[in-house]
Chain A
Amino acid sequence: MIAKTKRVRDYKQLNKELPTLRYVDPEFVYINLTTQRCEEYRLDVKKGDYVKLGQIIGERDGCFFKQPIYSTISGHIEDKVTKIDGTGIEVECITIRNDFKDTYDETITDRPDSVIETMTQKDMVEIVKQKALVGLGGSGFPTYIKLATEEKIDTVVINAIECEPYLSSDYRLIKDQPDEIFNGLKYIMQALNAKQGIIAVKKTKKALIEVLENEMKRFQNLNIKIAKLGDYYPQGWEIETFKNATGIKVPIGELPMKYGIVGFNVSTTESIYEAIKHNLPVTKRFVTVNGDGIKFPQSIRTRVGTSVKDLIKLSDGFIEDADELEIVIGGPMMGSSVKNDDVIITPTTTSVLVFKSVDHKEEPCVRCGSCVYSCPVDIQPVAIMNAVKRNDTEALKQLEAGKCIECGLCAYVCTSKIHVTDYVRKGKSLIR
């Protein structure tokens, strides 16, 4: 109501403690050839070709970086199809029929620790770039660019906050593979020559803190600490995490590297470990299937490229008594809703949420100010909304609409159930 709201009901208890279902062998996988950023591609294989797990089958292009495309299973290439990816856009995909043998490509070999110990930043950046690693928290930003920074880095922050409601894929990852995360952090610290590493986790996730503290005993020689941060939204927003974990305030719009700090998502850290140690690209990931529109919510460890239809089938399908459903890829606060269930799991897909669609009755705005009080970047959503209605770009600039991070809190707290975030988004695009 009329007060600062930072808590968002988290709904995680639904499935965070359930065992993870292993579903790593779908009959077909669909590897996306284009992404939101890269709209061009080159395909090196043709229909009928046999590919191995971890083999390069092409290259994405069309933006400021190039990215090899990897096969995530071994099997035969089939047709090109059009599917939807996690951002809700249509992408071209290549179908691979699984031969259920998981034959690894010749290049997928373990690096001995002695070799890794002598590696420099340049070597590691090259591996990370070669393995097409991206920010797995959902951003999809190439990891090698962050890792190749030339600024002096003091602190590496591993973001394990996962502040979005419903999501528990990072939670499951930390519980299952804490060793990989610590090793990944070790490699990052080695590459950047950083003095300390911080793993930021919500203080309410006691189970994770136990696991991490236990694991930390094996990494005594490294300066790693666990930052237990408050349970509120958007704690996982990079700048907020940095501020609370290290006390460094990074101004919005500036690169954190300038301030001697760099952040990686916990899944990204694990993927860096896989790439450097096992020379593997991202082939598997944890996906949360959750929401009130699905019969049996659970976490699934699945192959990248799996169809979401399969995962929904594994979770007993949609509930029957709903007329309209929403499928959200990503968190409920910031994730995008897709137009049908013909979606593929890409490396950046954290979750598949199915909700009963609720049409909130909009009341007139009563200027209660909840959105202003709750905004994490201290702008005034209600004033921006009114400026958008007037088409007043001058006022939008004065109100700093561009600062918005689209966290969705303004619409979440709105007493009139107005979709304030949509208006602010419109405002941002008006002054861009």
Chain B
Amino acid sequence: MKIIEKSAPHLRKPNASVIRMMRDVVIALLPLVVFAIYNHGLTAVWILAAAIGSMVGTEYIYYQIVDHVKRDRTKAEEIKDKITGLNKQINQAKATYQENQNKAEYDETVEKLKAEIRTSKETLKAYKQASTKEENKRFHLFNRQFTLYNYSILVSGIIYGLTVPDSTHVMIVIIGGVVATLLVKMIFGGMGQNIFNIAGFARAFIALGFGAAVGVSNHLPVQDDGTAGATVLGQLAGNPFTETSAFSLWDMFSGIGFPGAIGEASALLILVGALYLFLRKSFDVFVPLVYVGTVFILSTAVMFQQDIGWWYPLTHLFSGGLLFGAVYMATDPITIPVTRPGRIYFAFGLGLLTFVIRLFGQYPEGVVFAILIMNMFVPAIDYAKWSKSKFSKKSSLIFSAIIVLSIVAVMVGASNV
């Protein structure tokens, strides 16, 4: 028995772990996966498989290569290196001898070094004979950092897959997954180091890189009548303030037979997942609350300005993956600020950007773009000079002024659309 010294605290919270947190997200996503498969059939299976497979596979292969480069050096290699070093020393001694012609010193040094080389070679030989095949194997492949064990890349893969529209080609999904994992996660240093949301980046990448190929099909397996054409947001982009006829609010809330990305349709199931995550305290509930709340307030303001019905803010809430993005993407702790005020500023920025993109832009991926843009502001929000873990009087004053200003700006903007 050994007594060892450690520094305080000597206790850890029993049920706090990253693995638990990530596993909870996977569990909260499962109903959406099942629903996506129910809604879209095999298409959803293929897209999800491609998304998860490409991300997990990329990370796996990346770590295989990294571990190979940094692989543990076997003892034999160490001895070989030592011999090379000794040979270099002999050459150096030769050079010195040619300079100062000190024969006695030269002989002495070389003799000593040669003896050392001889012993090293003998040890190498003995080692090679003694060691098993295993130890001498040239390629040692480990997966020391492969993060599948803590579900982090799996979470990214599932979220990415669920945000992909159903008529997207599987190859495009794979390209997006590979590129996002490499560019956003791996080269920044793996888990915990990424600046952008991986799934969000992948989704934005395929939207911008492949344009029209990433779209919504006209016919869903669960629909009999085949009436669905564009998504709600697509229709809203054409006539911003006209109520769409094709879908009722209940359709949007339940998501059954609703076109769009394969997993974002059902607001109901997303809320169920959010409730689970909230009860397990596995995400910061303030982020989705403030995010969705901001979009709701801004769209309500526009509703009053345009004098249209309540369908307008509700349509914004239940469409275009706002809830999905707010619950699963905007809460990814790695890419959001660490303080509560910081997270609230961040979520407000998300809401504002999302609504502005929806109101003035043509892209249906407003949520994803907003998340990626706000990800860039995280280091600025967390900057040591002004980041505080409590609201001060001054900061809450400035923040309320910004809220009022943005409501006014959105209303003025809406009258000019």
Expressed in whole angstroms, the minimum distance between the Cβ of B388 and any Cβ of chain A is 8
Verify if A328 is at the interface (C-beta below 8 Å from B). yes
Contacting pair B11 A340 (CB below 8 A): no
Instruction: Please give me the residue from chain B that is nearest to A330 by CB atom.
Output: B8
- 8 Å CB contact of B190 from A2, A364, A373: A364
Task: Across the A-B interface, give the 8 residue pairs with the lowest CB-CB distance, nearest first.
Answer: A408-B9, A364-B192, A1-B281, A395-B384, A398-B384, A368-B333, A332-B10, A369-B338
Chain B residue nearest in CB terms to A327? B3
Does B61 sit at the interface, judged by CB under 8 A? no
Q: Check B338–A372 contact: CB distance below 8 A.
A: yes
Chain A nearest CB, measured from B395 CB (Å): 13
1/0 contact string of B1-14 vs chain A (CB within 8 Å): 11111111111111
A421 within 8 A of B: yes
Are A367 and B333 closer than 8 Å at their CB atoms?
yes
Asked if B3 and A2 sit within 8 Å, CB to CB, the answer is no
Q: Tell me, yes or no, whether A37 is within 8 Å of chain B by CB.
A: no
> Which residues from A are CB-within-8-Å of B1?
318, 322-325
- Contact yes or no, A411 B9, CB < 8 A: yes
Kindly provide the distance from the CB of B383 to the nearest chain A CB, expressed in whole angstroms. Answer: 9
A-B contact pairs, 10 of them (CB 8 A): A1-B281, A9-B14, A334-B8, A337-B4, A337-B10, A341-B3, A363-B150, A366-B334, A398-B385, A406-B8
Please report which residues of chain A, range 311-349, place their CB below 8 angstroms from some CB of chain B when the two chains form the complex: 318, 322-328, 332-341
A399 at the interface (CB under 8 A from B): yes
Q: Does A153 contact B (CB under 8 A)?
A: no
A297 to chain B, nearest CB (A): 15
Asked if A176 lies at the interface with its beta carbon under 8 angstroms from chain B, I say no
Complex interface residues of chain B between 144 and 198 (CB less than 8 A to chain A): 150, 152, 190-193
A416 on interface, CB distance cutoff 8 Å: yes
B16-24, B75-83, B304-312: which lies at the A interface? B16-24
B127 to chain A, nearest CB (A): 31
A380 and B387: CB pair below 8 A? yes
A412 within 8 Å of B by Cβ? yes
* B63 contacts partner chain A, Cβ-Cβ < 8 Å: no
**A241-274 toward B: CB 8 Å interface, digit per residue (1/0)?**
0000000000000000000000000000000000
B7 close to A419 (CB less than 8 A): yes
Smallest beta-carbon distance B305→chain A, Å: 37
The reply on B282 being an interface residue by CB < 8 A is: yes
Whether A337 contacts B6 by the Cβ 8 Å rule is yes
How many of A's residues come within 8 Å of B, CB to CB?
A: 67
| A379 vs B21: C-alpha distance when bound (angstroms) | 24
User: Is B339's beta carbon under 8 Å from chain A?
Assistant: yes
Not counting A325-B3, A332-B11, A419-B7, a sample of 18 additional A-B residue pairs whose C-beta atoms are within 8 angstroms of each other reads: A1-B16, A2-B282, A318-B1, A322-B1, A324-B1, A327-B3, A328-B8, A337-B4, A338-B5, A341-B3, A353-B10, A363-B18, A364-B191, A366-B334, A369-B340, A408-B8, A415-B17, A422-B7
Q: Is the CB of B338 within 8 A of A367?
A: yes
A399 vs B382: C-alpha distance in the bound complex, in angstroms? 11
B192 close to A411 (CB less than 8 A): no
In whole angstroms, what is the CA distance A312 to B111 when docked?
61
Candidates B4, B14, B284; contact of A357 at CB < 8 Å: B4
B389 at the interface (CB under 8 A from A): yes
Name the B residues within 8 Å of A416 (CB-CB): 17-18, 192
- Interface pair A1/B21, CB less than 8 Å apart: yes
Check if A239 is an interface residue, CB within 8 A of chain B.
no
Q: For residue B193, give the distance in angstroms from its CB to the closest CB of chain A.
A: 7
CB–CB A2/B5 < 8 A: no
Q: Is B2's CB under 8 angstroms from A375's CB?
A: no
CB distance from A386 to the nearest CB of B (A): 9
Q: Is the CB of B18 within 8 A of A335?
A: no
Please measure, in the bound complex, the distance between the C-alpha atom of A318 and the C-alpha atom of B3, giving whole angstroms: 11
On chain B, the residues within 8 Å of A318 by CB distance are 1
Query: Which A387-432 residues sit within 8 Å CB-CB of chain B?
Result: 387, 392, 394-395, 398-399, 406, 408-409, 411-417, 419, 421-422, 425
Q: Which residues of B contact A328 (CB under 8 A)?
A: 8, 10
Does A412 contact B4, Cβ atoms closer than 8 Å? no
Verify if A58 is at the interface (C-beta below 8 Å from B).
Answer: no
A365 in contact (CB, < 8 A) = yes
A334 to B2, CA, bound (A): 22
CB distance B4 to A380 under 8 Å? no
Q: Is there a chain B Cβ closer than 8 Å to A144's Cβ? A: no
> Measured between alpha carbons, how far is A338 from B8 in the docked complex, in Å?
11
Q: Is A378 at the interface (CB under 8 A from chain B)?
A: yes
Which of B17, B19, B283 has its CB near the most chain A CB atoms (within 10 A)? Answer: B17
Q: Which single residue of chain A is at the shortest CB-CB distance from B6?
A: A337
Cross-interface CB contact of A333 among B5, B9, B384, cutoff 8 Å: B9
Tell me, yes or no, whether B280 is within 8 Å of chain A by CB.
yes
| B70 at the A interface (CB under 8 A) | no
Q: Is the CB of A2 within 8 A of B334?
A: no
B390 contacts the other chain (CB 8 A): yes
Chain A residues closer than 8 Å to B340, beta-carbon distance: 369, 372-373
A325-B3, A326-B3, A326-B6 known; A383 vs B338 contact (CB < 8 Å) = yes
Q: Mark B374-387, 1 if CB is under 8 A from A, else 0.
A: 00000000101101
Interface centre among B2, B6, B193, B388 (most CB of A within 10 A): B6
Tell me whether A369 and B339 are in contact in the complex, defined as CB-CB below 8 angstroms, given that A325-B4, A421-B8 are known contacts. Answer: yes
Q: Is A323 touching B5 in the complex (CB atoms < 8 A)?
A: no
Of residues 354 to 392 in B, which have CB atoms within 8 Å of A's CB atoms?
382, 384-385, 387-390
Given contacts A324-B2, A387-B384, contact A335 B12 (CB under 8 A): no
Is B191 touching A366 in the complex (CB atoms < 8 A)?
A: yes
Cα(A422)–Cα(B7), bound, Å: 7
Q: Which residues of B contact A9 (CB under 8 A)?
A: 11, 13-14
